[in-house]
């Protein structure tokens, strides 16, 4: 966390301040926070905001990926940001203490806690303005990128308002007709097409014969194209896309991976890697002179942890970290970009143990995973699990860029929303 006290600075005259500001602007330098006449700091405004979420990612998940891919003496890209804190993710639910992804994402997106299953609405079902909608009203471009269905809980909470997260076709309709993100990339084509009407991703694929078109709002892909979206369905189409309008990409029937337990049926192999989707989104959105808001979600961490599959949790976490590095490289040349990396909740009760530790996990999917080798060493460790569900553990947050100083503390998920909104909209 950043230090709470800093040495005082000498006061400068108005002429000096104006000259310094002009010099900084000519050099493309982001101005630092200054004193506000009403008291307190005036925080620098973030022209661009990128929120990267590892669904289900707790501190142990980050450590698992670090040890397996970097070793004990190196850090993940997501751990290299300037500010670190952690987040309480409790829902406002009359029955559950532990949050689901919908309630958690709604709190991050709107600044209001709600019940499990709610998407973009409060506990009474009233629609709440989201960060994406606030960005759009401020003239910014907006985007949603995920390896889950694009209409799954997390992206849905930023771009729609429904009382039940399972109403995914209505979520898709709201995307294209109401909130209108400029970029929507991920899986979930089945929710955009009516039963019996196959798209680029055929019904009943060999990898999961249960998958088939199941939309309830007609052919929303055609509707999106009528409304000005350029539609792509594979990696080649995405790479070639140079849309003048909005961009919609659907790259799987459902999630962009097969989330089963150990064995050949469990795959983390997205048809389009998360990093490539994020790269295209940055390319499209950064053309907006007023900046942008972008949500990037790696769903694989959560789904693989639900199945207590540490091997594929590592793969999904490494894909997220590679994407974080991409965003940090972008921020290096666009210093007015706020970057936030966070988990919406913890999944699996993951524990990293020595190989000779007792296996408390049990049988079936919860059997202890490993051993794994610490990268660059002969050391080994195993992964133990306490559950196949979410837990109430706080999640780590790292951030850098304008407004990141507000996030280096213990906070609620709603506080994260408030800090991002303040930085993006120039509020105190």
For 217-221, the CB contacts below 8 A with 24+ separation are 217/169, 217/170, 217/172, 217/173, 218/194, 219/192, 219/193, 219/194, 220/169, 220/172, 220/173, 220/176, 220/192, 220/193, 221/189, 221/192, 221/193, 221/248, 221/250
Question: How large is the C-alpha radius of gyration of the chain?
Answer: 22
CB atoms inside a 10 Å sphere around CB 149: 26
Distance of alpha carbon 201 from alpha carbon 276, whole angstroms: 19
Catalytic residue (choose from 8, 101, 148, 361): 101
CA angle in degrees (0–180, nearest 5) for 370-375-377: 95
| 229 exposure class (CB count in 10 Å sphere: 0-12, 13-18, 19+) | buried
Quickly count: other Cβ atoms within 10 Å of residue 378's Cβ. Answer: 6
Based on the residue annotation, tell me whether 322 is a catalytic residue of this protein: no
Round to whole Å and give the CA distance between 120 and 78.
27
Q: Are the C-beta atoms of residues 242 and 232 closer than 8 Å to each other?
A: no
- Which contiguous run of DSSP H or E holds residue 221? helix 220-226
Nearest to 47 by CA among 256, 343, 331: 331
Residue 274, SS3?
Answer: helix
Omega of the bond leading into 341 within 30 degrees of 0 (cis) = no
> Quick one: how far is CA 356 from the chain centroid?
36
Residues assigned a catalytic role: 101
């Amino acid at each position: 966390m950043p230090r709470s006290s800093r040495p005082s600075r000498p006061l400068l005259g108005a002429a000096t301040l104006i000259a310094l500001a002009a010099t900084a602007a000519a050099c493309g330098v982001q101005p630092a926070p200054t004193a506000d006449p009403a008291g307190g700091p005036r925080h620098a405004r973030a022209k661009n905001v990128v929120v990267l979420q590892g669904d289900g990612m707790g501190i142990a998940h980050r450590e698992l990926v670090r040890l397996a891919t970097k070793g004990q003496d190196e850090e993940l890209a997501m751990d290299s940001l300037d500010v670190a804190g952690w987040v309480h993710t409790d829902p406002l639910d009359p029955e559950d203490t532990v949050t689901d992804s919908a309630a958690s994402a709604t709190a991050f997106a709107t600044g209001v806690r709600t019940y499990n299953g709610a998407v973009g609405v409060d506990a009474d079902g009233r629609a709440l303005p989201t960060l994406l909608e606030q960005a759009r009203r401020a003239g910014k471009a907006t985007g949603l990128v995920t390896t889950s269905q694009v209409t799954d809980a997390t992206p849905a909470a930023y771009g729609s308002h429904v009382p039940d997260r399972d109403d995914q076709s209505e979520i898709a309709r709201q995307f294209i007709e109401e909130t209108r993100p400029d970029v929507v990339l991920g899986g979930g084509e089945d929710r955009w097409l009516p039963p019996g009407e196959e798209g680029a991703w055929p019904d009943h694929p060999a990898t999961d014969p249960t998958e088939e078109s199941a939309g309830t709002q007609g052919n929303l892909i055609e509707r999106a194209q009528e409304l000005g979206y350029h539609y792509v369905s594979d990696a080649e189409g995405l790479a070639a896309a140079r849309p003048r309008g909005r961009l919609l990409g659907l790259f799987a029937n459902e999630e962009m991976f097969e989330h089963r337990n150990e064995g050949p049926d469990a795959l983390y192999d997205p048809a389009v890697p998360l990093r490539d989707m994020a790269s295209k989104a940055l390319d499209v959105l950064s053309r907006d002179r007023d900046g942008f808001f972008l949500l990037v979600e790696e769903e694989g961490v959560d789904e693989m942890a639900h199945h207590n599959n540490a091997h594929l949790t590592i793969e999904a976490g490494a894909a997220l970290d590679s994407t974080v590095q991409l965003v940090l490289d972008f921020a290096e040349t666009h210093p007015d970009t706020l970057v936030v990396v966070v988990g919406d909740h913890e999944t699996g009760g993951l524990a990293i143990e020595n190989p000779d530790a007792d296996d408390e996990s049990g049988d079936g999917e919860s059997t202890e995973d490993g051993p794994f080798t610490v990268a660059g060493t002969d050391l080994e460790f195993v992964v133990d699990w306490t559950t196949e569900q979410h837990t109430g553990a706080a999640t780590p947050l790292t951030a850098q860029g304008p407004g990141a100083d507000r996030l280096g503390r213990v906070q609620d998920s709603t506080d994260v929303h408030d800090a991002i909104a303040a930085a993006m909209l120039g509020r105190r």
